[in-house]
Chains A and B, each alone.
Chain A
């Protein structure tokens, strides 16, 4: 069974602080990796893709360690608007499946972040 594990939190962090999220995934054949953000009662929205070389988008930095099957997200100078649930997501595209296609996205349960003023 393919699994993505995250600390559910909640993480209560003062505004301006740096916060780090981690997740692990079980399928070593996973192809691509993402962090999504989900606000209460809304749909998940793509925050950033995650590459082995690491990637940065403004205050957000994501890192992938394929050997350890570990994904991280760092948020610097946190804002009140960063309060949300952060979902670690793995794409298990399987080129060798009978249908030669997708096994869908596997989501972690999400980490709830609360930024306090």
Chain B
């Protein structure tokens, strides 16, 4: 079975541009969440979606948005990119019970220049 898949794996953008990151959860998982990890820090929670509805949002500006599709895949959009948005963006999926562990994809490494 495929795990959590993310695309693209690497991306270079310039300041002010917009970016879309994609994630497909483990088959049967209906919840997807997004995290940002900058070098030397633990991942920071951005969004959680379940059954196509936003169920949680972290402390990130409105430039960050996301959505979940009927097939439970998800997109994370970031507008007006800043240098500080350079990070590893991780997607995680979990079963319907949020209390259990989350499985992460290998991430998208975004560099903003």
Contact = CB atoms under 8 A, between A and B. Distances in A.
Interface of A: 4, 31-32, 34, 42-46, 49, 87, 91, 93-94, 97, 99-110
Contacts, number: 72
Interface of B: 31, 33, 35, 40-46, 48, 50, 53-56, 58, 90, 92, 98-107
A101 B101 contact: no
B42 A102 contact: no
B45 A46 contact: no
Q: Is the interface of A mostly helix, strand, loop or mixed?
A: loop
Q: Is the interface of B mostly helix, strand, loop or mixed?
A: strand
A42 to B, nearest CB: 7
B54 A49 contact: no
Contact of A34 (B44, B56, B101): B101
A46 B55 CA distance: 22
Given A99-B54, A107-B42, A49 B100 contact: yes
